[in-house]
Amino acid sequence: MKKTTTRLADGRELIYYDAEDTADAVVRDAVDRRPLEPVATHSELRHDRLLGDTVAIASHRQGRTYHPPADECPLCPSREGRLSEIPDTDYEVVVFENRFPSLAGGAGRCEVVCFTSDHDASFADLTEARARLVLDAWIDRTRELSQLPGVVQVFPFENRGREIGVTLGHPHGQIYGYPFVTPRTALMLRTLAEHRERTGRNLFDDVLADETADGRRIVLAADHWTAFVPHAAHWPYEVHLFPRRRVPDLLALDEDARAEFPRVYLELLRRFDRIFGPDQPPTPYISGWHQAPFGEPSRRDFGLHLELFTIRRTSGKLKYLAGSESGMGAFINDVPPEAAALRLREVASQ
């Protein structure tokens, strides 16, 4: 992998990632010629005294780009007469600082990850080689962001589909470097410690062993990865992808797991697009890597895993978070996890 770092006109960092087999022929020296003012964003972190969690107040995000036409997409490569966030005329994978970050002003960092220069593609359309390059970029950014002052947790994720709330149609994801441990991770750490205290065993190891032994909710089992619908899935179609060898974060994955990941993950995404039948639009989803916070005493017990889910519950119908879910955080799932797993096995690639 070749990594080329540059700066955009307003001072934000941009990084090109090119695969080894094409890197020698690529020169990344394009300059951002847009007349941008220096970045002046600020977010405020506020502590919720009742719940004990943290909320980021980021009013500047009200002005972010919202569903531009395809020929004005800021994530497509630049061309004569239309300059974008990416100065070059083509690229493989690009990461840059978000122009409208949720976390700013030294309180964390937000980055955009463009998976391909093809505006009309999706992650599921990538080759295995390109998906591996994205994985390598996630690993590199986890390493780099973990070294920034104040960043304690790194979360690479992708939102896909207007139903999810995506405002740019170009295939891309984001990476948040949080200056705090997120509520979901804090809850995992608490249950992890309680399980260790009660049983003397690791919770992530037990979950994977139990799902494997049960078998009904297994979606895909490979040499180094296992995908399953969790026993108490919150979402209609939800898959957790665990490496068979528990590691705390992406940095700790061995080469065998890294090499196998693209095939496994692309298969999962393609199955998601087939859940509701060939006449349905692409399935909206959220996909994110859950990694151990840096500096946590229980870091070595944490289990890296990817969570993938959709808010579509059946053809033409979405799962809305209403009173119980939004008001109390108590989920009600209309699709039995065993039925979801069965459907995801039925739509496997031939």
> Active-site residue numbers?
172
Instruction: State whether residue 345 is helix, strand or coil.
Output: helix
Q: How is 64-98 classified by DSSP, letter by letter?
A: S--S--GGG-TTSBPBTTB--SB-SS--SEEEEE-
Contact of 228 with 234, CB cutoff 8 Å: no
Contact of 139 with 123, CB cutoff 8 Å: no
| Residue type for position 280 | Q
β-strands 305-310, 317-318 pairing: unpaired
- State yes or no: 119 annotated in a binding site: yes
- State yes or no: 110 annotated in a binding site: no
Residue of 186, 180, 185 lying closest to 43 (CA atoms): 180
Backbone angles phi and psi of 81, in degrees to 5: 90, -10
- State yes or no: 114 annotated in a binding site: no
Residue 257 is inside which H or E element, if any?
helix 255-272
- Measured CA to CA, the distance from residue 255 to residue 295 in angstroms comes to 25
DSSP state of 4: E
Summarize the annotated binding site for Zn(2+) as residue ranges.
Answer: 73, 76, 119, 170
Q: Report the binding-site residues.
A: 73, 76, 119, 170
